[in-house]
Structure 1
Amino acid sequence: MNWAEQGPTRRDVLHAIGMMAGTAVLYQAMEAMGHAKETQFSGPPNLQGARPGTKVLVLGAGLAGMLAAYELTKAGYDVQILEYNNRPGGRNWSLYGGDTYTELGGATQKVGFAAGNYLNPGPWRIPYHHRALLHYCKAFGVALEPFIQMNHQALLHSSKAFGGKPMRYRELAGDWDGNVAELLAKAIDNKGLNSVMTAEDGDRLRMALREWGALDEDFKYSKNYRSSRRRGFDRPQGGGVLGEPIPSQPHAFNDIMDSQIWRTVAQHMSIDHQHSMFQPVGGMGMIGRGFARQVEGKIRYNTKVTSISQQGGKVTVAYADTSNDTGTGTGSGTTGTATADYCVCTIPLGILSQIDVDCSPGLDAAIRAVPYSNSVKVGLEFKRRFWEEEEAIYGGISFTDREISMISYPSGRMHSDGPAVILGAYTFGAPSYKFAGMTPEQRIARALDQGSVFHPGRYKEEFIGGATVAWSRVPFTLGCCAQWNEETRKEHYQTLVAVDNRLVLAGEHASYIGCWMEGAILSSLDAITRLHSRALEA
């Protein structure tokens, strides 16, 4: 819009300020799209009145499946879980030293991380407003610690800015705020906003911009003590004779624009990435272990579901044993069946669509309608925490426009000696499929090469070993998470989550919080509540 020809509306002004200065407008927009409100959790379900002896089969020992089994067992149901893997947790998973992982195609990795180090191939952080997950972590004794999402000392790298040299987030963010504040202050001085605010409002906004953008007395963003308090000093404050700090020179605004710093700022503003965030002490897999302790003895591992029948007034699930599986899904060849009155199926849709499921045509169409995204993670272990010791980077994320997308520094065991693991790549979209087409060794080498831009002279020199997971090659999901769109939700979502005779689906794919553990948990609680009602009506 040309503001000289047509004055901006109040909404235009507030939207611009919101995007530049705070989260209010962004939150409103996200809320309108169904993303910003806190998740719907008011406590565990009330499943009173279960008929003794009623059996329920749960397919999958991810968080949704284990929670369903836990709450149904508490209510008096006879529950059994069938799980493809030899461990609980599903996508809630950590790779530790001594673990072996085989992906589709047969490539096998033997993880050599030092004791206490790990890679979280799937989920790796918990937002403060994911109340259901936080509730059950506390109830099940899963210890949590802070996860550092935003770190002002972390780096931003763009091949199109600053000659390809990484810059501190605090410098770019401070310079972005300062320059935008100066521009808005000039717009007020030039009467450019008179059509949407009074002179008094303009004066108040002008003073607010001075504080927010660290502008000088002339309302300019310049080299001085105020701006350096945001972006850092050339010589920091000290003691004694040379204690006086030396202010730093802000970057040129066109360089700030080239860096596209606003993308990183906006990511940190998203409600999913706002403070505070958490992670389990010792790796994300600790949550799966904590849930599994609550359903001990109910999980049959190494069990691949091959068909689901709802004939004869019951549910019959055929399965094959996957013990000694090498990634082919064949296992030992032993087969069997399990029967129950009802079934909670948490198998990811990409796998479920390849299974013979006896269900309504509508549910069958819904199962086949939702594709899965891909993602690749690479964990890199280094001899020591040189990013902490030499650059004072404690946790947080450094971003790049290279294929690896980012590197994330460990939030646990900070300021300790010995080896540590950096998340050396977290790819989506086309780069993720490019990485998935490589061998694990090639992925690690590529992540090491591209990540060296952040820490030249240290990254390759202090590297010990790595591990990587490409989700399109993970045998039990064939993808990262379900990718609904407006069209498929409108046509298939309600059918997918409805109780279909004696079968109900649960998991992150059966929620509006896709790709998050909270979505899996909330869908599970909803599914078993409705299944319980169906059982009482029978």
Structure 2
Amino acid sequence: MTAGSAAMYQAMTTMGLAAESGYKGRIKLEGDPKGATVLILGAGLAGMTAALELRQAGYKVKILEYNNRAGGRNWTVRGGDTFSELGGGKQTCEFEEGLYVNLGPWRIPYHHNGLLDYCKRLGVKLEPFQQINHNAFLHSSTAFGGKPQRVRDIKTDFQGHTSELLAKVTQKGKLEGDVTKEDQEMLLEALKSWGALDKDYAYAKGLTSAEYRGYEKDPGGGLGAAPVPGDPIGLSDILKSKLWGSLANFALYEFQTTMFQPVGGMGKVGEAFAKEVGDLITFNAKVTKIDQDEKGVTVTYEDTTKPGAVQEASADWCICTIPLTILSQIEVKVSGAMQAAIAAVPYASSVKVGLQFKRRFWEEDDLIFGGVSYTDLPITQISYPSTGFNTTGKGVLLGCYTWNGPNSYEFTALSPQDRVKRAVEYGSQIHPQYKDEFENGVSWAWHRSPYTLGCAGDWTEEARQEHYGNLCQLDGRIMLAGEHASYIPAWQEGAILSALNAIGRLHKRVLQG
């Protein structure tokens, strides 16, 4: 996520990670399904979206869910929660009341219209999520003596230096033939404003640049109140540090202002859906077999609280939202093409660590109110809470969020407790207060999650071309849905849109008789 912006955005678009939401408004399933029954596998957002809309359209719906809670990856952990990873890593969260960490999704782009609409319909209150904070840090362990730099300084100085260079080229007439003389004059004025250049089109220490990058000494009141400008960082130093690569995280379409978060944690979304369809859910249901014939679908499952107790559930149709990593290990009676599609998609590795501290030192000492700091250390980033600003008491940071690659695999291999320990050690290189202020923490490695075995579908362009259409087809009486069956994988919007598309096509098929 800290690669060059152009290359990263192209890669994300190719894999469907930067695609725009295709939500066109609330679905209307018109026509009488005549008592048709639908069995939904999985009570994540895709499964519960399908259940909510199908029941309203007159279908008889039942959901089987592996966990003892609804929401799936939509999951907020609070004090008192107990959970276990594969391999026996059991944890009990010790956060103070009111504090939480989102170990699954944690932010909502403003253009994820489907999710936002369901939040509105279900009464989920939202508040702004701070993605960009100019006062947060960009950190390289090999640049500036390991000292973190403010986002504002790197962004403003890089922009200023490049504006000065372009202004010099423009003044020398090097753009003749590409830009008209009139446009060159306007370009110079634009560069002066955009790049904080002085009257000589130079980016230099002074009050002009200080209005953008801040001051060495801020303006005050009374005697000695005059501001003192700071020294800009040299262009060569910025280039060699490679910190400019992290600026893409504030410019990409997915992360642009305004982003949102539910008040009280992302889990509030799953809880709101469960309030509507919770009576349809059978919890602790581990699916072991999915069979179908020309008349319907039969699913075999076990109650995880009573191992060995085999049960069956049948319906006319089935919407399966089980992650492909799990589904590929279950006996499923579908076509060879769909079997190949299920087996073709690996899942991304991701690890999150939540850390509770005695006080909100990032606000009190560093004046960082929300936002994200990025680093080349294995923790990758630190996200500061976007709520409870300027209050006393304890606070929780997202102290590590890895996504694929060596760092993610390294953290996955550690015990939950060792991940927390490492996150504190690495984080203290950015915030020295860590070691004195840290109290407790939790972590989650998604490849050790028993119900997902990974974070999200990790499509390649080649795999999409060959398998995506087959994955999304109505195969007999079975249809798949979930973020993996979308062009917005890893986002809740992808799960919702996939479910809406699936039930829309299923409904047409049912009405055909």
What's the TM-score bracket when you normalise by the shorter of the two chains?
A: over 0.9
Q: Which moved more, 1:94-103 or 1:190-199?
A: 190-199
Flag the 1:337–1:33 CA change in 2: closer, same or farther, 3 A: closer
Determine whether 1:346 maps to 2:321. yes
CA contact (8 A) 1:176 1:261 kept: no
Q: Which runs of 4+ in 1 moved over 6 A?
A: 25-35
Q: Which residue of 2 aligns with 1:139?
A: 121
Hey, what's the Cα distance between the residues in 2 that align with 1:290 and 1:365? 35
Hey, what's the Cα distance between the residues in 1 that align with 2:319 and 2:16? 26
**1:38, distance to aligned residue in structure 2 (A):** 3.8
- Picking from 176, 200, 219, the partner of 2:158 is 176
Report the 3-state secondary structure (helix = DSSP H, G, I; strand = E; otherwise coil) of the residue aligned with 2:157: helix
Q: Which residue of 2 aligns with 1:9?
A: none
Supply the AA of the counterpart residue of 2:181.
A
Supply the AA of the counterpart residue of 1:459.
Y
CA contact (8 A) 2:16 2:489 kept: no
Hey, what's the Cα distance between the residues in 2 that align with 1:217 and 1:447? 47
CA offsets per residue over residues 115-152 of structure 1, 9 Å max, x none? 11111111000000000000001100111111000001
Q: Which residue of 2 aligns with 1:94?
A: 76
CA offsets per residue over residues 255-302 of structure 1, 9 Å max, x none? 111222322222211010000000011111111000111103100000
- Picking from 268, 277, 292, the partner of 2:250 is 268
Hey, what's the Cα distance between the residues in 2 that align with 1:392 and 1:319? 52
CA offsets per residue over residues 160-211 of structure 1, 9 Å max, x none? 2111110111111110000000011111123322231122222211111111
- Picking from 4, 21, 24, the partner of 1:39 is 21
Hey, what's the Cα distance between the residues in 1 that align with 2:203 and 2:216? 17
- Picking from 20, 32, 47, the partner of 1:65 is 47
Flag the 1:445–1:37 CA change in 2: closer, same or farther, 3 A: closer
Determine whether 1:507 maps to 2:507. no
CA contact (8 A) 2:350 2:455 kept: yes
Report the 3-state secondary structure (helix = DSSP H, G, I; strand = E; otherwise coil) of the residue aligned with 1:461: helix
Which consecutive residues of structure 2, in runs of 5 or more, have no partner in the other structure? none
Flag the 1:449–1:507 CA change in 2: closer, same or farther, 3 A: same
- Picking from 135, 141, 148, the partner of 2:130 is 148
Determine whether 1:469 maps to 2:444. yes
CA offsets per residue over residues 195-242 of structure 1, 9 Å max, x none? 311222222111111110000011100000010111110110111112
Report the 3-state secondary structure (helix = DSSP H, G, I; strand = E; otherwise coil) of the residue aligned with 2:497: helix
Hey, what's the Cα distance between the residues in 2 that align with 1:374 and 1:37? 21
- Picking from 367, 384, 387, the partner of 2:362 is 387
CA contact (8 A) 2:198 2:208 kept: yes
**What is the aligned residue count?**
509
Determine whether 1:218 maps to 2:200. yes
Determine whether 1:425 maps to 2:400. yes
Flag the 1:340–1:30 CA change in 2: closer, same or farther, 3 A: closer
- Picking from 410, 420, 439, the partner of 1:434 is 410
Supply the AA of the counterpart residue of 2:176.
N
Hey, what's the Cα distance between the residues in 2 that align with 1:162 and 1:267? 21
CA contact (8 A) 2:17 2:490 kept: no
**1:311, distance to aligned residue in structure 2 (A):** 2.1
**1:50, distance to aligned residue in structure 2 (A):** 2.9
Q: Which residue of 1 aligns with 2:311?
A: 336
Hey, what's the Cα distance between the residues in 1 that align with 2:447 and 2:17? 26
Q: Which moved more, 1:65-74 or 1:196-205?
A: 196-205
**1:30, distance to aligned residue in structure 2 (A):** 8.1
- Picking from 202, 206, 210, the partner of 1:228 is 210
Flag the 1:265–1:433 CA change in 2: closer, same or farther, 3 A: same
Mapping of residues 303-318 of structure 1, within 5 Å: 303-318=285-300
Hey, what's the Cα distance between the residues in 1 that align with 2:204 and 2:343? 57
Which consecutive residues of structure 1, in runs of 5 or more, have no partner in the other structure? 1-18, 324-330
**1:52, distance to aligned residue in structure 2 (A):** 2.9
Flag the 1:53–1:470 CA change in 2: closer, same or farther, 3 A: same
CA contact (8 A) 2:381 2:400 kept: yes
Flag the 1:29–1:332 CA change in 2: closer, same or farther, 3 A: closer
Hey, what's the Cα distance between the residues in 2 that align with 1:276 and 1:353? 38
Flag the 1:77–1:424 CA change in 2: closer, same or farther, 3 A: same
**1:28, distance to aligned residue in structure 2 (A):** 10
TM-score (norm 1): 0.92
Hey, what's the Cα distance between the residues in 2 that align with 1:353 and 1:33? 21
TM-score (norm 2): 0.96
Supply the AA of the counterpart residue of 1:453.
Q
- Cα root mean square deviation, aligned: 1.8
